[in-house]
Chains A and B, each alone.
Chain A
Amino acid sequence: MNSAAPTNSPAMLMQEVQVGSLRPAGPPVLSGVNWSVASGEFWVVAGLAQTGKTDLLMLAGGLVPPLTGSYRLFGRDLRELGEAGLAERLQVAFVPDHGQMFSQLTIAENIALPLRYQRNLDAEEAVREILGLLEMLELLPFAGAWPASLSRDWLKRAALARALVLRPRVLLCDHPLGGLGIRHRRWWLQFLDQLWHGHEYFGGTPMTVVVTTAELAPWQHAGRRFALLRDGQFLPLGAWSEVIQSADPTLGELLTQAPQPTL
């Protein structure tokens, strides 16, 4: 079990939530989602393509409200948060699937942007603030590079740095291992684990981590919790031991991927 034991108050609580599709707008992609994520938990949400993994994360990040049902972020209803609840929303960081760095900003400028905007810092002040983060994520050599000149491996890592720059309590990663080389996959698995247990850069405070994936094998770990998205439903599975005992054919499909690095 994770040394960072979850506290009682859920960081995210969804009750009978209906998740709409963000792009393109359309009918609900998930219905009846009941999901409680306690602080300090590590959740792996698995599903085949087009099952609503990204939409669920977008909702979890407070980007879109639920179509129906209630979603409470740190105990406050998402609909009531508004602009006054920005501080709560910024406690949840999102790492998109493709990195989505802004092409007209350098990697360092991209990473510093949320910090500069939220704290009204000029460029030099912000760069000083992010140096440690760049070093920790091995991004210093690419600080002045344009996103177009970087490989997907490094773009995703830069997106992770941008998500971490405001020191969030919850980290949502959309397909963090998707399209990465073997070395980078291993790095991500180790680093997310360190964040979950409490990275010294963040004062040793355990971070709540939620990842989506289309392959379960790399995420096997006794302390992690798993859920499956299938047929428009959110199905909590429990721990890894319950995942491997399940006879669900979709799970079988998600488990029989090519061997990947694990921890």
Chain B
Amino acid sequence: MELAAKNRFDGAPIASRMGEVQKDLAKLFEHANVDFLRSIPQPKSFTDYLGRKLFLFLLSLQGIGAFALITLGVLLRKRQVAVKVMQPRIRQEIRRSGVDLLPMFILMALGLGFLVVGQTVAALAKVGAINYLGSTMVIVVVRELGPLLTAMLLLARVGTAHVIELGTARALGEVEVLETMGIDPVHYLIVPRVIGMMAGMFSLTVYLIIGSLLAGYLCAFIQDVPLTPGDYFKELARALSGLDFVLLGLKTVIFGFFIAIVACYHGLAQPLRLEDVSRVAIRAVTQGVVVCVLIDLLFIVVYLLALA
């Protein structure tokens, strides 16, 4: 389809190609994919350029959404299929997206604790606003920084690896080979990665939050802030509500799901050549960041609605 759409315009002058695109937008949406749109020469008008970018963004969202639904369908429908093959694969992915990253996250928790939490505690104590400690920490660390930082690190560390592995497998024809053996590539390749990423995202966020709050107190203690551990944790506990736990759990699981989906979508859902792999890896990281920020915005709305 992609090449067929390309061939329609081959040999035509650039202006007429663009004219053709603008005239036949509905057909283009049906036939073209993101790569085809990218292959058309850049328009000179800024509004056209923005329109192109918006169109590409919508196409990507459409593709990612469809891929997410397919994956979810396979995840639920095939949960009893080849359990003895899938369970070790899921365990392997949980280790890769969670356990193996624990040392890095301990370091990140110390960094976050000393650089952000500790300084905030010290500053609040200095201006006599220690009563706001709990709510500040919950908003900054529990609701926002913890999940978002974990998502970015997982995207960079594991998401890129997923794109490269799957993209290479796709380019080398390994995905087709799976299909010849009657193995659903989404089930065998994507489902373990999605489960691993969701589990890893949730656990690492919890560890990062706990670690950074502990390190933050340590930093405040070193700075001689007059705050006992009892008061510190009492303030934190007072500021936390049941909603925070529920939404933190939901947010991390959704982050994990979509990071894995974006990475796997770019690696697997389109025909690739080996030389395309690095390009799609960059695109996957960019779109992963955008998707995480969009989900985060959605959760802010939920928080605001709940508070209202």
- Which residues of A line the B interface, CB within 8 A? 21-27, 58, 61, 63, 86, 89-90, 93-94, 96, 98, 100, 102, 113-114, 116-118, 120-122, 162-163, 166
Contacts and interface: CB of A to CB of B under 8 A. Distances in A.
Given A90-B182, A117-B183, A98 B188 contact: no
Contacts, number: 73
Contacts of A102: 169, 174
Contacts of A166: 181
A114 B85 contact: no
Highest count of chain A CB atoms <10 Å: which of B1, B3, B181: B181
B84 A98 contact: no
Contact of B183 (A24, A94, A113): A113
Interface residues of B, number: 23
Nearest to B4: A27
10 contacts: A25-B4, A27-B3, A27-B7, A63-B179, A90-B181, A100-B172, A100-B177, A102-B169, A120-B82, A162-B181
Contacts of B16: none
B180 interface: yes
B82 A24 contact: no
A116 B183 CA distance: 11
Contacts of A121: 84
Contacts of B180: 61, 63, 93-94, 96, 163
A63 B271 contact: no
Nearest to B168: A103
Contacts of A94: 177, 180
B226 interface: no
Contacts of A118: 82, 181-182
B15 interface: no
Pick the 4 closest A-B CB pairs, nearest first: A26-B3, A114-B181, A94-B180, A117-B82
A126 to B, nearest CB: 9
B83 interface: yes
B182 A114 contact: yes
Contact of B4 (A26, A86, A89, A162): A26
B2 interface: yes
A116 B1 contact: no
Nearest to B1: A25
B84 A23 contact: no
Given A24-B3, A25-B1, A100 B183 contact: no
A100 B85 contact: no
B51 interface: no
Contacts of A27: 3-4, 7
A22 B188 contact: no
B86 to A, nearest CB: 9
B176 interface: yes
Given A22-B176, A27-B4, A100-B173, A116 B82 contact: yes
Nearest to A117: B82
B82 A25 contact: no
A117 B188 contact: yes
Highest count of chain A CB atoms <10 Å: which of B82, B83, B182: B182
A89 B182 contact: yes
Interface in B270-290: 271
Interface of B: 1-4, 7, 81-85, 169, 172-174, 176-177, 179-183, 188, 271
Given A24-B3, A27-B7, A100-B173, A120 B182 contact: no
Contacts of A61: 180
B3 A114 contact: no
A114 B271 contact: no
A116 B85 contact: yes
A23 B85 contact: no
Nearest to A125: B84
A23 B271 contact: yes
Given A27-B7, A117-B181, 5 more contacts: A24-B271, A96-B180, A116-B82, A117-B182, A117-B188
A102 B175 CA distance: 10
Highest count of chain B CB atoms <10 Å: which of A22, A86, A102, A121: A102
Contacts of B181: 90, 113-114, 117-118, 162, 166
B85 A120 contact: yes
A21 to B, nearest CB: 8
A117 B172 contact: no
Nearest to B272: A23
A23 B173 contact: yes
Contacts of B173: 23, 96, 98, 100
Nearest to A100: B177
Contact of B83 (A96, A100, A120): A120
A63 B174 contact: no
Contacts of A120: 81-85
Contacts of A114: 181-183
A183 to B, nearest CB: 26
Contacts of A21: 3
A65 B3 CA distance: 18
A86 B1 CA distance: 27
A118 B169 CA distance: 21
Contacts of A24: 2-3, 271
A22 B3 CA distance: 11
